[in-house]
Amino acid sequence: MTNSNDDGASRPQAVVAGDLDSDGTLNGRAGASEFSIGGPGGRGGTTAGANPYELLSASLAACTAMTIRLQARRRKIPLSHVEVAVSYRHGGDGGRDSFERSISLEGSLGDEERAQLMQAANMCPVGRTLGLSADIRTNDKLSGGRAASYDDDLSELPIPNIDPD
């Protein structure tokens, strides 16, 4: 899906660019937001910024929070604050990867209202897309655990290390 410029021409929703001669920093742009993307710089170091797994997790967290907020406003549910924490995890032994999603809801909510908002989390469009290839486990407690490491995954790719000299 693309967005349109003022002249009606389509443009991508996100752009990432970086020079090979620089320190390896990649710069991203999505909508009006600009940000650095972190991860291996290609020269043995790590660049600052959120890595692709963190960006993917942030997309799911943002979409979930927006969907819950929209549902609360439409149904006039007295939600005062929502917090969504997401971590991406690899599936063990060839199993499906997963996103661990924890949701905290605040406000004068009854049990039925709370259940409606937790159910709304599963209507998030980003979650529906990601759910095609990964499981999304949702709970109402902010939890920890070991998230997948983007740096580790890149180091395991079968890419030969060729010295340019």
Q: Write out pLDDT tens, residues 5-55.
A: 565 567 788 899 988 776 778 899 998 999 988 877 666 667 788 889 999
Q: Are 72 and 117 in contact (CB under 8 A)?
A: yes
Give the angle subtended at the CA of 158 by the CAs of 155 and 159, to the nearest 5°.
Answer: 80
| pLDDT at 60 exceeding the cut of 70 | yes
Q: Write out pLDDT tens, residues 89-134.
A: 888 777 888 999 999 999 999 999 999 999 999 999 999 888 888 8
How far CA 95 is from CA of 75, 86, 92, 100, 134, in Å, comes to 38, 19, 5, 15, 9
**86 pLDDT band (50/70/90 cuts)?**
very high
